């Protein structure tokens, strides 16, 4: 069975600082990987996804993520955080079958200090 671990429950950074959110997955075949963001009181919005090809993926709002098969990781990065990035971030993994089901991590809450 596939699983996702986000080791950091809560991260605090200062505005303008760089950010890295960690995601480790467990899956036997080629994974399909996603990062979503949830602002307070909202649904989830897709930031970026990896299906194949270039292992460095660019997303919206200046985010990027790197797929590292050897480390079973898909960490999310941003070089300079803005106060509006404060939200909860979810990593998810899907398979090539199972009707597009996704397995989500526990989420990382990001707080941004001015």
Partner 1 sequence: DVKVTQSSRYLVKRTGEKVFLECVQDMDHENMFWYRQDPGLGLRLIYFSYDVKMKEKGDIPEGYSVSREKKERFSLILESASTNQTSMYLCASSFLAGGPDTQYFGPGTRLTVL
H/E stretch holding 45 reads strand 44-50
Establish if 35 lies at the interface with partner 1 (CB under 8 A): no
Q: Which is nearer to partner 1, 42 or 84 (CB)?
A: 42
Among 28, 40, 97, 114, binds partner 1 (CB under 8 A): 97
Q: Which is nearer to partner 1, 32 or 74 (CB)?
A: 32
Any residues with CB less than 8 A from the CB of 16 and at least 6 apart, and which? 80, 81
Among 8, 27, 49, 77, binds partner 1 (CB under 8 A): 49
What is the per-residue DSSP string for 48-109?
EEE-SS-SEEE-GGG-EEEEEGGGTEEEEEESS--GGG-EEEEEEEE-SSGGG-EEE---EE
Residues in contact with partner 1, counted by CB under 8 A, come to a total of 28
Backbone φ/ψ region at 53: left (φ over 0), alpha (ψ -120 to 50), beta: left
Among 73, 75, 77, 107, binds partner 1 (CB under 8 A): 107
Contact 59, 48 (CB under 8 A): yes
Among 8, 13, 19, 104, binds partner 1 (CB under 8 A): 104
Among 28, 43, 53, 114, binds partner 1 (CB under 8 A): 43
By the criterion CB under 8 A, which residues form the site for partner 1? 4, 6, 9, 32, 34, 36, 41-46, 49, 51, 90, 94-97, 99-107
């Amino acid at each position: 069975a596939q699983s996702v671990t986000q080791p950091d429950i809560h991260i605090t950074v200062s505005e303008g600082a760089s950010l890295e959110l960690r995601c480790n997955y467990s899956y036997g075949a080629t994974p399909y990987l996603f990062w979503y963001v949830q602002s307070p009181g909202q649904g989830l919005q897709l930031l970026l996804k990896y299906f194949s090809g270039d292992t460095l993926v660019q997303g919206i709002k200046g985010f990027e993520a790197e797929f590292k098969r050897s480390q079973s990781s898909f960490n999310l990065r941003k070089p300079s955080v803005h106060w509006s990035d404060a939200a909860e971030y979810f990593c998810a993994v899907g398979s090539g079958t199972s009707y597009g089901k996704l397995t989500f991590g526990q989420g990382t809450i990001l707080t941004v200090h001015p």
